[in-house]
Structure 1
Amino acid sequence: MKRRVLIIYSGGTIGMQPSEQGYVPMKGFHKLINKLFRARGLQHLPHYDIIECQQLIDSSNILPNDWTRLSHLLMQNWDEYDGFVLLHGTDTMAYTASMLSFMLQGMNKPVILTGSQIPMMEARSDGPENLITAVMLAGHYNIPEVCIFFANRLLRGNRSTKVKSAGFDAFDSPNFPWLGSIGINIEIQSQLLLKKRAPSHLAPTFNPDAVAVIQTFPGISAEILKAVVERPGVRGLVLQTYGAGNPPDANKDFIEVLAHASTSGVTILNITQCAYGSVSQGAYATGATLNRIGVIAGADLTLEAAFTKLHFLLSQNESIDAVRQGLILPLAGEMTV
């Protein structure tokens, strides 16, 4: 039997059209997809169906519970298809790919996110090539992961980050090799793929206020940090520090607020501001301060993976110790240990 792929259009630049206010998601985008595939005469594509989400999202407006909705949509159709392509806006694509990797742990089918930098209805759009290749990868290749496919590179979703606002090669995975390169030949690095496990689907309801992010900068005020960690509902903080995970430890008030938040039940995850490299908390005396007050070292997590992983673990209503233990262990290949 011919293999089957489900294309889910959730919004994003690939399906946008111009308006008086700028580009907005268009209804009926499935008609343009069908027209593209007919025009290309793509006999070698798998059979495909298209679902267009009723509420299309400009990805800069995505909310945590949109991830629950998308995961439910995938699982409702899981047994009927061999792979899935999720069309999504680029601004938060890496966040969605990361969260879906945690919600769909142990998955045994490809879920490939893609989109474009120019709408598909425009003459120079990168959308057609991204979409066609993503459908082929989802239908014909054994890739049991949530991935991002963009500009001829296949990336592990929870290792990806958007690195360019205008270039077609908008995504990269700075601390992990590409899973595949697509040129004349499609080359998949099978040895890098996650091993198949018993699949599980965990799609809780999220508290959108549960996780905050703050980046250190020269002269950062303890009052700024205090306003963030003491905001109602906050249970987790992603702290982006310098270099190998170093905070401004000479700022005693700042460290005191961090320590108080940690002892008060806020789980704090430390990641580096650097695109490449990892947190080595304690390599310098400044980082050792964070060890002392109970901050978790985030290894080489991207911001997107750190934010969504902390959100996901907190949503499981486990103890603080269980959340902290979960942060230091890879759930879906998102970090190097």
Structure 2
Amino acid sequence: MKRKILILYTGGTIGMQASDNGYIPVPGFEALLRQQLRTGATQQLPDFEVQELDQLIDSSNLQPAHWTELAERLTSQWQQYDGFILLHGTDTMAYTASALSFMLRGTDKPVIITGSQIPLSELRNDALDNLITALILAGNYDIPEVCIYFNGRLLRGNRSSKLKSAGFDAFDSPNFTWLAQVGIHIDLHSHLLLESHPQPGFLAAGYKVPQFNPNAVVILPVYPGLSARIAQDMLSHDDVSGLILLSYGVGNPPDANAELMQTLEQAVQNNVTVVNITQCLQGKVSQGAYATGAALNRIGVVPGSDLTLEAAFTKLHYLIATQKPESLSRLMSQSLCGELTE
């Protein structure tokens, strides 16, 4: 018996069409897709249905409220389908994949997010292959994770980042092995997958999909000449509960900037959770390998291991929305769904 897959079109390049002002999202994706799939070979695909958001999103306009909307759409129809594909713009795809990995923690079905660099409406595109392969993966393999599929790579969603603005191989997971490689054959590395839960927590009676305060988490990149005033301004708003510090190397801040360090220390004392991740593409924070990093240990900054920026940002949002403040530092250092190396 064929699996039944829901394709949720949220917007993004894959369904856009050219306009006088550049590519724009337009409705009617299902008709376009079915036109492209008018071939007998589609019998090899699982059964699928297509839904569209009422308001399509150019992913550069994505807001945390959209994560809630997407999770509600999925969980409300969870029992009706065997797997889910989200068609999403590439600019913020890794943020959505990371956010949903926490919101759908313990998933027992595949949730595969994909899109394209060239729209399906164009003669030469990467859209059809990405979507067909995502359908085959969701329809034929047991993958209890939120993933990104792009250009022959199945990636853990919360380990993924967009690394190229124009290449078809736009996504990678710098600190974790690909879950599958797709060429002539599909090589799924089942030993890397998360364990399936017989009853995901988000299906429990009374569960409510988290609502997010869009101002709760801010990001502070470290750079030569960084003024403490920048951090002070970020932290001056009452609804800021978390700060992601993008530091150098293995987690080193400019500790000679006494005013900046004092500002971070004061933030921690004011119950702002400060998480330190590296600006480097690969590797993890080793907070204390150098004296500069050890200064962060002394003031209570949480080392973020090898979290991507997208995973750190969305995880902190998720924890602020769902957990008690005194638990945040401990949970940020723990792997909840494969997002970091402990």
- State the TM-score, normalizing by the size of structure 1: 0.98
Alignment gaps of 5+ in structure 1:
none
Shift of 1:229: 1.3
Residue 239 of structure 1: SS of its match in structure 2?
strand
Residue 309 of structure 1: SS of its match in structure 2?
helix
Q: Which of 232, 236, 259 is matched with 1:230 structurally?
A: 236
Determine the structure 2 residue equivalent to 1:330: 335
Determine the structure 1 residue equivalent to 2:279: 273
Residue 292 of structure 1: SS of its match in structure 2?
helix
Alignment of 1:247-326 (within 5 A): 247-316=253-322, 318-326=323-331
Q: Alpha carbons of 1:60 and 1:278: their partners in 2 closer, same or farther (altered >3 Å)? A: same
Q: Confirm whether residue 199 of structure 1 aligns to residue 204 of structure 2.
A: no
- After the TM superposition, which of the residue ranges 327-336 and 190-199 deviates more from structure 2? 190-199
Distance (Å, rounded) in 1 between the aligned partners of 2:328 and 2:40: 49
Distance (Å, rounded) in 2 between the aligned partners of 1:61 and 1:247: 31
Distance (Å, rounded) in 2 between the aligned partners of 1:300 and 1:82: 32
Shift of 1:40: 6.3
Alignment gaps of 5+ in structure 2:
203-207
Shift of 1:276: 0.2
Shift of 1:2: 1.6
Q: Confirm whether residue 154 of structure 1 aligns to residue 160 of structure 2.
A: no
Quick check: 2:59–2:90 contact (8 Å CA) kept in 1?
Answer: yes
Q: Alpha carbons of 1:308 and 1:40: their partners in 2 closer, same or farther (altered >3 Å)? A: farther
Distance (Å, rounded) in 2 between the aligned partners of 1:134 and 1:196: 19
The runs of at least 4 consecutive aligned structure 1 residues that moved more than 4 Å come to none
What value does the CA root-mean-square deviation take over the aligned residues?
A: 0.9
Quick check: 1:103–1:200 contact (8 Å CA) kept in 2?
Answer: no
Shift of 1:41: 3.2
Determine the structure 2 residue equivalent to 1:70: 70
Distance (Å, rounded) in 1 between the aligned partners of 2:184 and 2:190: 18
Quick check: 1:240–1:270 contact (8 Å CA) kept in 2?
Answer: yes
Quick check: 1:222–1:254 contact (8 Å CA) kept in 2?
Answer: yes
Whichever residue aligns with residue 238 of structure 1, its letter is I
Distance (Å, rounded) in 1 between the aligned partners of 2:306 and 2:40: 41
Shift of 1:76: 1.4
Quick check: 1:7–1:51 contact (8 Å CA) kept in 2?
Answer: yes
Deviations 1:156-208 (A, max 9, x none): 00000000000000000000000000011011000000012341226211100
Quick check: 2:12–2:87 contact (8 Å CA) kept in 1?
Answer: yes
Quick check: 1:87–1:113 contact (8 Å CA) kept in 2?
Answer: yes
Determine the structure 2 residue equivalent to 1:95: 95
Whichever residue aligns with residue 200 of structure 2, its letter is P
Quick check: 1:270–1:296 contact (8 Å CA) kept in 2?
Answer: yes
